[in-house]
Chain A
Amino acid sequence: MYQTKKSRVISLLAGTAAIVFASTAAQAETIRVVLGYYSAATQGLFEGMAKDFMEKHPGDEVKIEVIQWDNLQQRLTTDIAGGTEPDIAMIGTRWLVDYVKNDIAEPMDLTPEFKASFIESFLSPSTFDGTMYGLPVAASARAMYYNKDLLAKAGVNEPPTNWDGVVDTARKIKALGTDAYGFALQGKEIETDAYWYYSLWTHGGELIKDGKSGVASPEAIKALTLYKSMIDEGLTEPDPSGLNRQDIERLFKQGRIGMILTGPWLRGQIKADAPTLNYALSPIPEGTTKATYGVTDTLMVFKSSKQKELAMKFLTETAFSPKWRIEFSTKEGFLPVMKEEAAAPVFADDPQLKAFTDMLPYARFAPPVANWEQMVDAVIAAVQKVYIGQAQPEAALKEAAATIDGLIQQ
C-alpha cells in the first residue's frame, strides 16, 4: 500500500517535472497538430508519422490531438479567439476561405516538384489568387452503389447511366412489391444539400454563376422537381426528410435500397456489416452532363505559429511522403491525392475504386465563398420544404437563392 502510494507520488512529481521541463526547454521545438477524427485509425496513423518525424529530427516534438469533426470548427474558433491555436490543423477545405480572409492561414511556399506530385484537381480548392494555403489530406468523390440482386430481380441487368434509367429501374423495383425502395434519397442533416447537388450538376446547373446563386436556375428547378416526383411516385423511401445519410446507408446495407449515391467509405462499412451484399459501383447518373461531388479536407499552418518552418517540414517530409499517404488513404478509405499514391497497386488494381477515380475529371467542389455553411442550410431548408410538400420547387429555391445572394454581397 505504502509502496504504491510512494511510487504514485514519485510518478506525479516526475509528471509535473516533465510538464515544467517540456514547457520551458522544448518550447522552441514542439509543434502541435489538431486533427479531425475519421475513424479509430486516425490517431494511430498520425502518431506514427510523428514518431517517424521525431526520429529524423531528434529533439523536436510533434504532438497529435484528434477531435470529432462535429466539434472541430468550434474548437479551432475558440482557440483562435483565445490565442491558443495549434501550429497545424486539419480543416474542411471549404472553411479555408474564412481562414485566408481573416489572415489566419499561412501561405505555403512549395517547390514546383512537390506541387507537381499532387493530382492537380485537388490543389485548386485550397488555392486563392494563385497562392496555396493548404494541402489536400483526404479526398473523396461520389458514385452510385447499386444492389445487383435487387436490380436483377426487377429485370435490370445493367445499372442505369442516366436519370431516366434510374426512374425506370426504381419503378421496376417498386413493382416487385417488396419492402425495398428503388432510389435512396437523403432528407436531413449533413450533406442533404450534396445529395441534391448530384442532380443539380448533372442537369447542367451551377451553385454559383457570375457571382450570383444558381440554385433557382431552370436546371436547378428541374433537378429538384425530379426528386420530388420520385418521392410522390413512391420510388424513394417514404418521408425522406426523416432520414439522414447513415439511415439510407443502413437501408442499403440491409438490401432494401436499389440505388444510392454516396462516397467510398460505404465500401468499408459493407465489408464489415453486410459482407454478403451483392453490390457494384457505377458513375453518378447523367442528366445532360457528367458530374460528381469532390470533397477534400486540408492540412493548414497557422500564421501565428512560431515554428512554421518545422511545421512545413513535418508536412512535406513525413505527412505527405508516399509511404504515409498510401497508409493513410487505404486505412481511412479515401481516394489518393498524390500521383505516386494513385499508381500504387492497392489503388491502381482496385476495380471498385476505379469507379470513383474515373469520375475525378468531372468532380465539382464546394465553391470557395465565405458564409458557405449558411448557404448550405438555406439550400437544405429549401429542399426539405419541397420533400415534405410545404412548398413548390421554384418558390422554395427562389427563396434560398435570395438568401444566398444576400450572403454573397455581405
Chain B
Amino acid sequence: MGVGGAVHRAKTPSNGKIGRASAPYLLILPSILFAFWIIGYPIYDMANMSVHAVNRFGKTAAFNDFANYQRLFSHQLFIGCLIRTLVWTVFVVGGTVLLSVPIALILNEKFFGRTLARIIIMLPWAVSLTMTGIVWRWSLNGQFGMVNATLANFGLQDTPVEWLATSTTAFPILIAIGILVSIPFTVTVILGGLSSLQADVFEAAKIDGASGWQRFRYLTLPLIRPFLNIVLVLNFIYVFNSFPLIWVMTQGDPANSTDILVTWLYKLAFRYGELGIASALSIVMFLILLALTIVYAALAMRNERSTA
C-alpha cells in the first residue's frame, strides 16, 4: 500500500498534496463518527423523549408542547433541588480544591515516608463511592454507629445523636464526605502539575529575596493554573452529577431536604415512572453543565492569553 501510494503521488503531485493533508482526517473520520454517535444518540433520544408524552414504560406518544418542561419548572421540589445542587457542588468542589492544594504542596516536598503518605492519600480512590457511603452510613447510625460510640466513650455525649435525621446535620456531613472522596483525584492532578515545575525558577526567586508566600502566590499558583482549571471543571461535572453518596446515605431524606437534582431525577424516572419529566430534567442538567463548562473554559482561555 505504501508503495502504491508513492507511485500514485509521484504521478499526480497536486492531488497527492490534498490527499496527504486530508488523509489523517479521513483515517480518523470513522472513529469521530462513531464517537459522535455514541455520545450524540443518547442525547438526541433523551431530548426527543423530553418533548413527547411518555408512559412509565418508555413508550413515547405525541409531541406535547413542552408540557414535560412546564411540569418540571412548576414542580414544588425543582427549585429546592436546584439550589441544593448548586450549594452541594460549590462547597464540595471549593472545599476539595482548597484542601488539595496544600496537601499536594506537602506531598511534593521531600520528606521521610513521602511515598507512604502519597499512598494513604490515594487509597480512598480505590474504594467505590457506594462502599464509602455504606461505611459512613453505618458509622453515623445514631444507635449502633461508631461515631456516637466514640463520642460517648470520651464523655462528649449523653444521648445519641441521629446525624442523618435532619438536614442541618446530614447535609454538611454529606458535603464533608463528598470533599473527602474528591481529594485523591484532585491531589493527583495538582501533584502532576507541581512536579512539572522547573526548580531553577524558584531558586532564582529565592535569590532575589521572594518569601515563601510570594513564591507560592506569584510562581506556583500561576504555573499550576492549567491544572487547577482542569480539576475545577472535571470536579464540577462529577460532583454535580454525583449520585451514590447521597443515595446510599440518605436517599434525599428527610422530606427531600438532602435531595439534589440527580437523586430526584432517579426517583422521578425509576420510582415514580415519570419518564417525561425525568428526561426534561436530564436535558436541563446537561445544559446547565454545558453552559458552565463553556463559560469557564472561555474565561480560563482568556486568562491564559492575557497572561501569556
Contact = CB atoms under 8 A, between A and B. Distances in A.
Interface of A: 73-74, 77-78, 80-81, 98, 102, 104, 187-189, 237-243, 247, 250-251, 371, 373-374, 377, 380-382, 384-385, 387-388, 390, 403
B163 interface: yes
Given A188-B251, A250-B144, 9 more contacts: A73-B271, A77-B56, A238-B160, A239-B142, A239-B162, A241-B165, A377-B272, A380-B255, A385-B255
Contacts of A80: 57-58
Interface of A is mostly: helix
A242 B144 CA distance: 12
A407 to B, nearest CB: 9
Interface in B144-174: 144, 159-166
A381 B162 contact: no
B220 interface: no
Interface of B is mostly: loop
B16 interface: no
Contacts of A102: 55-57, 59
B143 interface: yes
B58 A242 contact: no
A189 B254 CA distance: 9
A387 B142 CA distance: 16
A377 B141 CA distance: 22
A371 B55 CA distance: 12
A388 B166 contact: yes
B163 A242 contact: yes
Contacts of B57: 77, 80-81, 102, 104
A74 B270 contact: yes
Nearest to B160: A238
Given A81-B57, A241-B166, A387 B273 contact: no
A251 B143 contact: yes
A98 B165 contact: no
Contact of B254 (A187, A247, A374): A187
B293 interface: no
A224 B256 CA distance: 19
Given A238-B142, A242-B162, A243-B162, A384 B254 contact: yes
Contacts of A104: 57
29 contacts: A73-B271, A77-B57, A77-B270, A78-B58, A80-B57, A81-B58, A98-B273, A102-B57, A102-B59, A104-B57, A238-B142, A238-B160, A238-B162, A241-B166, A243-B143, A243-B162, A247-B141, A371-B272, A371-B273, A374-B274, A377-B267, A380-B253, A380-B255, A381-B254, A381-B256, A382-B255, A384-B254, A388-B165, A388-B166
Interface in B15-32: none
A215 to B, nearest CB: 15
Given A80-B57, A98-B56, A102-B55, A239 B166 contact: yes
Contacts of A241: 162, 165-166, 253-254
Most buried by A among B76, B163, B253, B255: B255
Name the 10 nearest CB pairs between A and B, nearest first: A242-B162, A242-B165, A81-B58, A239-B162, A239-B165, A384-B254, A381-B255, A384-B255, A241-B254, A80-B57
Interface of B: 55-59, 76, 141-144, 159-166, 251, 253-256, 267, 270-274
B14 to A, nearest CB: 53
A238 B159 contact: yes
A98 B55 CA distance: 10
Contacts of B159: 238
A385 B143 contact: no
Contacts of A250: 143-144
A73 B270 CA distance: 7
Given A98-B273, A187-B254, A388-B166, A242 B59 contact: no
Contacts of B271: 73, 373-374, 377
Contacts of A251: 143
Contact of B255 (A77, A373, A374, A390): A390
Most buried by B among A238, A239, A240, A381: A239
A195 to B, nearest CB: 14
Contacts of A240: 165
B176 to A, nearest CB: 17
B254 A388 contact: yes
Nearest to A376: B271
Contacts of B274: 374
A264 B161 CA distance: 30
A240 B162 CA distance: 8
A75 to B, nearest CB: 10
Contacts of B160: 238
Contact of B164 (A242, A374, A385): A242
Nearest to B54: A81
B274 to A, nearest CB: 7
B200 to A, nearest CB: 57
B56 A243 contact: no
Contacts of A374: 271-272, 274
A373 to B, nearest CB: 5
Given A77-B57, A238-B160, A243 B254 contact: no
Nearest to B162: A242
